[in-house]
Chains A and B, each alone.
Chain A
């Protein structure tokens, strides 16, 4: 009893919240006791607090492995803003001198975010071994499983690293892990006593809607109609960076009363933060974005999530619509579907992995480098140049090449027989990955074409039963926008002369305005 009280007061002291949200407390209690935990919590329920609070309370450091560098940096910024200062994000984009300095100061941090690639580097491991690691967090743990939607081979090496770091307590977290993936995670980590905390991910205040449409022009017309009726925070998801820009500019001209911006991973970091913060501060109504938007964003009153293009798997869809209605009020997720869209993700899937001809090319180049007595270049630009591969493709291939003892670090080891066999194995592996991804894609398309209840179908592989929706269920169960009347938000328009704007900005809080 007393201990529980301490946990709550610690929560208030360090993060300013009075109560825990579903699941957080139980997970944290287990961690503090030293139990290994698998936590599957739906997006937007405060997964990161499950390790941020223990990081404050435990002796020594907490390491968080997280696959997305931009997300890592955002999180660190937010933590620092909320007065959690002993936190650092280590990634391969850091300036080498800065990184060296940070390595020497590692013991001063309570929370260390690190990318899986960087954890492969020996100089970091050496430094980490010198400090006390009390908690090792694997964020987005579904990346371990090849049945997960974002398989990251780098994650497979985490097992060794955990051992090297003297077996700290482990917390594996995911927002989207179905039964297969959960089992994979537990098997991989090899701690059979791991405690599972699995929470249902169905969202009872979100209504689902699918609208079939023939082309993009009609999609824009639907958006126009919707946003002429409603005025509230909304997200529109696209499959490409380019389309976020073009459609947002079309919408801006058609909807002068809505404040619209686009957001994608190709933007400068300053601009990305600015758009996020403007949206948080109600300076923007609609964001046209790619899947890069939303992670780590905690805006409570998003009323509508539109999918202009559908994502390549159910997991991403659940994650993206999960950003709606975190305040528990009635919210809608609508997907605009045109049969032509089916091709888009197929193309993207193929682009993520090197094709057979390309694999041949890489092997030839490797052989050439070997003959010339060269090593594998170190920078991503050089790699792109030599092998004609993008960063994601190279990361994938490097792991395969290392696994088959073709390369080690930057050295190339030539053995004709081994290379022949390995080529075939890698090729098979690629084919297998593609077929898994295509199966996931078909699951998504099947769901879109579902004739029965969309809600039941969406969550069926994640949980055995679903809760009754609070508001309307879905378009297959009779939902129509005519009956949907959420409260509209007023936008505080800051028009006026620049003198007035300057005054409002700088003399804020003065009594005379």
Chain B
């Protein structure tokens, strides 16, 4: 039901201007400027990268099911019933718990590390060192090895800390969600339940289990980050990682050069990249950096013209906007406006 709700919401916001593939890229967290920009323009930032395991096929199946139940039209626009359904279930869907754009990279790392850490410490405390790690991706194992060396001398106290902090944090969730969270954890002679088992125990769809989990992880991260003094045990799991804001490494490099006052053309030359690629980076930067000097690239008049056109045409489709503004205005300028000015004005 949660996945269905998310798909309906995406379709509602996309209003037929994007295909199901765009929904897939959004949930999957595709590292392309188009996807990130979509998430801003259509106000779907919170869903960016929240479901990395999802397949295109699953999305197609679910969308067709929604069409079959008359919640979506054949063009994937929510019907009146679909909109009603979203409103009615607002309390259950808890979309506000997601913050994909902010936590899409850190959430899976935090989740994996937390699961392995609890399993390792509880086993180590019982002097039981032959257990099969539930997370066995090399980077997480490597982190665990080093981290364990640091904390093993006070593992009992550290476990107590995790216990107190999790007890506090899980209190923010429904009883069901808190139970699900605890059931997933592995410890000494206890193996966490699989997604399938959780879906059966709590009568939720199998495809919703990862979403419910990641929603809780996002909430925990937001509390821990804004309040790290009160959650030292959990915060230190991820204190070695910067929560990356810019999505691609390449954009980060462009960002650094812009800060040294190089122009887009100069950067393209220095980095031996196409000018359009640099423009992509700049739009990407503008999406995250509220201090981005949009007016340096688009004059106030041009901005107004673009915004008026968007409002008049009721569209965010680039091509349509381009055809209806002064031909001197470039695609880059439209995208920049869509990413920054229009977006923030709409929200105010």
Within A471-513, which residues are at the interface with B (CB < 8 Å)?
Answer: 494, 498-499, 501-503, 505-510
Kindly state whether residue A278 has any CB partner on chain B within 8 Å.
yes
Kindly state whether residue B170 has any CB partner on chain A within 8 Å.
yes
Q: B189, A281: Cβ atoms under 8 Å?
A: yes
Kindly state whether residue A48 has any CB partner on chain B within 8 Å.
no
Partner of B196, one of A271, A502, A508: A271
Q: Across the two chains, which residue of chain B brings its CB closest to A73?
A: B136
Residues of A with C-beta under 8 A to B189: 281
Q: How far is A273 from B181 in the complex, measured between Cα atoms in Å?
A: 19
Q: How far is A82 from B128 in the complex, measured between Cα atoms in Å?
A: 10
Instruction: Evaluate whether A506 and B163 lie within 8 angstroms (CB atoms) in the complex, with A274-B191, A498-B181 already known.
Output: yes
Kindly state whether residue A105 has any CB partner on chain B within 8 Å.
no
A-B contacts at CB below 8 angstroms, number: 78
Kindly state whether residue A277 has any CB partner on chain B within 8 Å.
yes
> Measured between C-beta atoms, what is the minimum distance from B111 to chain A in Å?
13
Partner of B118, one of A261, A505, A510: A505
Q: B179, A498: Cβ atoms under 8 Å?
A: yes
Q: Across the two chains, which residue of chain A brings its CB closest to B183?
A: A501
Instruction: Evaluate whether A502 and B159 lie within 8 angstroms (CB atoms) in the complex, with A270-B134, A283-B191, A509-B125 already known.
Output: no
Q: Across the two chains, which residue of chain A brings its CB closest to B135?
A: A270
Kindly state whether residue B331 has any CB partner on chain A within 8 Å.
no
Interface string of B152-171 (1 = CB under 8 A from A): 00001001101100110010
Q: Across the two chains, which residue of chain A brings its CB closest to B164?
A: A506
Within B116-151, which residues are at the interface with A (CB < 8 Å)?
Answer: 118, 122, 125-126, 129-134, 136
Q: Across the two chains, which residue of chain A brings its CB closest to B187?
A: A505
Instruction: Evaluate whether A508 and B163 lie within 8 angstroms (CB atoms) in the complex, with A83-B130, A274-B194 already known.
Output: no
Q: How far is A502 from B175 in the complex, measured between Cα atoms in Å?
A: 13
Q: Across the two chains, which residue of chain A brings its CB closest to B173?
A: A498
Kindly state whether residue B195 has any CB partner on chain A within 8 Å.
yes
> Measured between C-beta atoms, what is the minimum distance from B21 to chain A in Å?
20
Residues of A with C-beta under 8 A to B191: 274, 277-278, 281, 283
Q: How far is A509 from B194 in the complex, measured between Cα atoms in Å?
A: 25
> Measured between C-beta atoms, what is the minimum distance from A289 to chain B in Å?
14
Q: How far is A50 from B170 in the complex, measured between Cα atoms in Å?
A: 49
Partner of B182, one of A77, A252, A271, A501: A501
Instruction: Evaluate whether A505 and B194 lie within 8 angstroms (CB atoms) in the complex, with A78-B132, A252-B200 already known.
Output: no
Q: B163, A81: Cβ atoms under 8 Å?
A: no
Q: How far is A461 from B58 in the complex, measured between Cα atoms in Å?
A: 50
Instruction: Evaluate whether A81 and B182 lie within 8 angstroms (CB atoms) in the complex, with A271-B195, A506-B159 already known.
Output: no
Residues of A with C-beta under 8 A to B93: none
Where chain A touches its partner, the secondary structure class is helix
> Measured between C-beta atoms, what is the minimum distance from A246 to chain B in Å?
13
Q: B190, A281: Cβ atoms under 8 Å?
A: yes
Q: Across the two chains, which residue of chain A brings its CB closest to B138?
A: A98
Q: Across the two chains, which residue of chain B brings its CB closest to A74?
A: B132
Residues of B with C-beta under 8 A to A503: 163
Kindly state whether residue A275 has any CB partner on chain B within 8 Å.
yes
Q: A502, B182: Cβ atoms under 8 Å?
A: yes
Within A214-270, which residues are at the interface with B (CB < 8 Å)?
Answer: 252, 261, 270
Residues of B with C-beta under 8 A to A77: 132, 136
Q: How far is A270 from B112 in the complex, measured between Cα atoms in Å?
A: 13
Q: A509, B170: Cβ atoms under 8 Å?
A: no
Q: B136, A507: Cβ atoms under 8 Å?
A: no
Residues of B with C-beta under 8 A to A78: 132
Residues of B with C-beta under 8 A to A271: 194-196
Within B185-234, which residues are at the interface with A (CB < 8 Å)?
Answer: 185, 187-197, 200
Q: B132, A506: Cβ atoms under 8 Å?
A: no
Kindly state whether residue B178 has any CB partner on chain A within 8 Å.
yes
Q: B125, A502: Cβ atoms under 8 Å?
A: no
Q: Across the two chains, which residue of chain B brings its CB closest to A507?
A: B163
Q: B132, A508: Cβ atoms under 8 Å?
A: no
> Measured between C-beta atoms, what is the minimum distance from B235 to chain A in Å?
17
Q: A83, B126: Cβ atoms under 8 Å?
A: no
Q: B167, A502: Cβ atoms under 8 Å?
A: yes
Q: How far is A122 from B284 in the complex, measured between Cα atoms in Å?
A: 47
Within A275-315, which residues are at the interface with B (CB < 8 Å)?
Answer: 275, 277-278, 281, 283
Q: Across the two chains, which residue of chain A brings its CB closest to B162?
A: A506
Q: How far is A78 from B188 in the complex, measured between Cα atoms in Å?
A: 16
Q: How far is A252 from B136 in the complex, measured between Cα atoms in Å?
A: 31
Within B255-275, which residues are at the interface with A (CB < 8 Å)?
Answer: none
Q: A83, B129: Cβ atoms under 8 Å?
A: yes
Residues of A with C-beta under 8 A to B183: 501
Instruction: Evaluate whether A81 and B118 lie within 8 angstroms (CB atoms) in the complex, with A271-B194, A498-B175 already known.
Output: no
Q: A261, B197: Cβ atoms under 8 Å?
A: yes
> Measured between C-beta atoms, what is the minimum distance from A271 to chain B in Å?
4
Task: Find the residue from A82, A499, A501, A502 having the highest chain B CB count within 10 A.
Answer: A502
Partner of A277, one of B132, B136, B175, B181: B132
Q: How far is A271 from B198 in the complex, measured between Cα atoms in Å?
A: 12
Q: How far is A77 from B135 in the complex, measured between Cα atoms in Å?
A: 12
Residues of B with C-beta under 8 A to A501: 179, 182-183
Task: Find the residue from B156, B159, B194 having the highest chain A CB count within 10 A.
Answer: B194
Partner of A506, one of B178, B187, B194: B187
Q: How far is A281 from B136 in the complex, measured between Cα atoms in Å?
A: 20
Instruction: Evaluate whether A505 and B190 lie within 8 angstroms (CB atoms) in the complex, with A81-B130, A81-B132 already known.
Output: yes
Q: Across the two chains, which residue of chain A brings its CB closest to B163?
A: A506
Q: Across the two chains, which residue of chain B brings its CB closest to A78?
A: B132
Q: A273, B132: Cβ atoms under 8 Å?
A: yes
Q: B122, A506: Cβ atoms under 8 Å?
A: yes
Instruction: Evaluate whether A505 and B129 lie within 8 angstroms (CB atoms) in the complex, with A77-B136, A271-B194, A275-B194 already known.
Output: no
Instruction: Known A-B contacts: A274-B192, A498-B182, A503-B163. Give 10 more (CB < 8 A).
Output: A77-B136, A81-B131, A82-B130, A273-B132, A281-B189, A281-B191, A502-B182, A506-B159, A506-B187, A507-B160
A-B contact pairs, 17 of them (CB 8 A): A77-B136, A81-B130, A270-B134, A270-B194, A271-B196, A273-B132, A281-B191, A498-B175, A498-B179, A499-B167, A502-B166, A505-B190, A506-B159, A507-B160, A507-B163, A508-B122, A510-B156
In the complex, the 10 A-B pairs of residues with the closest C-beta atoms, listed nearest first = A506-B163, A277-B191, A505-B187, A271-B194, A81-B130, A498-B178, A498-B182, A498-B179, A278-B191, A82-B130
